[in-house]
Structure 1
Amino acid sequence: MFRGKANAPLVVRPPHALAESQFTETCTRCEKCIAVCPTNIIVKGSGGFPEIDFGAGAKECELCNKCVEACQDDALNAANEPVWRWQLTLNEQACLPFQGVACRSCGEYCADSAIRFQPKIGGQFTPELILEACTGCGACIHPCPTNALQIQPAD
């Protein structure tokens, strides 16, 4: 029985990436952005195109723009807005504080205070994402013991 094509996995491109269709048309897959990333979170992804893997390297983006400077085909372009096409998301079903377990790992690693913990009557403090404060660095992702936080392409 034909059930249709499965949805393609969400891919997070490096900072200042063009929109996905333009990015894949413009990027020559030269790997220069991969080579210059000081934290090694830019990896060779599907089709050889660069993508972000917050489980690799030092596990966060330093926001240094070295990848943009190395990109000679303008698939990554500092003039491209928004700067980040990334969005932090939280799966409350996987997040320990929402299950009554004390955990503040993500907030301890967030230098920009984009994750705040709100008191909950009779329960654990629960995280609140302050998306306006989030730089998209991903420092909060690796320390989460349940993988409740993800960086995804922004809508």
Structure 2
Amino acid sequence: MSPDPHFSASRRAFLKLPSQPEIQRLRPPWTDEALVAARCTSCNACSEACPESILRPDDTGRPEVVFDGGECTFCGKCAEACAQDVFDTKRTPAWPMKAEFQPGCLQDHGIACQVCRDICPTSAIRIDLTKRPFGRLRIETDACTGCGACLPVCPQDALAIVHPKEDAQTA
């Protein structure tokens, strides 16, 4: 059995704590991590203005999108409420985020479930019937706005909002 190449028997390596992965926060539309970090004063006005209640302060007090029952309608009320120059409403699209299937989709396991497809406001989730015997759900990334409507309805939490992959055309 070969030794683990990442293992170090030195005392210093033994006592050093493993580094924590950087938390990827989902920032509101028309913003990004750099804008929020540089200009947000943590006043919470954007969170209070959100009619869907999906904007919440993170552990630093800055706005974070949390899809646990609502979706982003891209109404712009968060941007209107912000007194700072955090939101760039000229950005098109409002954000680059897209929905992506994660492991655990019931449809992939032969259980008919298309709740995400039914709720998608842009009909970006389609069923590919060429995948036998039950079909497979896929996301048309060009149609997906990343609104998050599909996330809270998935019984398996098999969807996530992510930055699209450079080479991905459909998920």
Compute the TM-score of the two structures, normalised by the length of structure 1: 0.89
Aligned position for 1:16? 30
Say whether 1:61 aligns with 2:75: no
Say whether 1:46 aligns with 2:69: no
Q: Indicate the structure whose relative CO is greater, using CA pairs within 8 Å and at least 6 residues apart.
A: 1
Task: After TM superposition, list the pairs within 5 Å mapping 1:67-82 onto structure 2.
Answer: 67-82=78-93
Aligned position for 1:86? 97
Larger radius of gyration: 2
Shift in Å at residue 147 of structure 1? Answer: 0.4
Deviations 1:55-77 (A, max 9, x none): 1xx41112101111111211112
Structure 2 contact 101–160 (Cα < 8 Å) conserved: yes
Q: Take 2:36 and 2:131, find their aligned partners in 1: how far apart are those partners?
A: 47
What's the Cα RMSD here?
Answer: 1.7
Q: 1:80/1:120 Cα in 2 relative to 1: closer, same or farther (>3 Å)?
A: closer
Q: Paired residue for 2:155, among 138, 145, 148?
A: 145
DSSP-derived class of the 1:33 partner: helix
Amino acid of the structure 2 residue aligned with 1:99: H
Q: Take 1:106 and 1:8, find their aligned partners in 2: how far apart are those partners?
A: 29
Deviations 1:68-110 (A, max 9, x none): 111121111202354213221211x211111111110100000
Q: 1:85/1:116 Cα in 2 relative to 1: closer, same or farther (>3 Å)?
A: same
Aligned position for 1:117? 127
Structure 2 contact 108–136 (Cα < 8 Å) conserved: yes
Say whether 1:34 aligns with 2:47: yes
DSSP-derived class of the 1:43 partner: strand
Deviates more, 1:73-82 or 1:45-54: 73-82
Structure 1 contact 95–148 (Cα < 8 Å) conserved: yes
Aligned length: 151
Q: Take 2:88 and 2:48, find their aligned partners in 1: how far apart are those partners?
A: 17
Deviates more, 1:134-143 or 1:82-91: 82-91
Q: Take 1:131 and 1:122, find their aligned partners in 2: how far apart are those partners?
A: 22
Q: Take 1:150 and 1:121, find their aligned partners in 2: how far apart are those partners?
A: 22
Structure 2 contact 45–78 (Cα < 8 Å) conserved: yes
Amino acid of the structure 1 residue aligned with 2:23: P
Structure 1 contact 10–153 (Cα < 8 Å) conserved: no
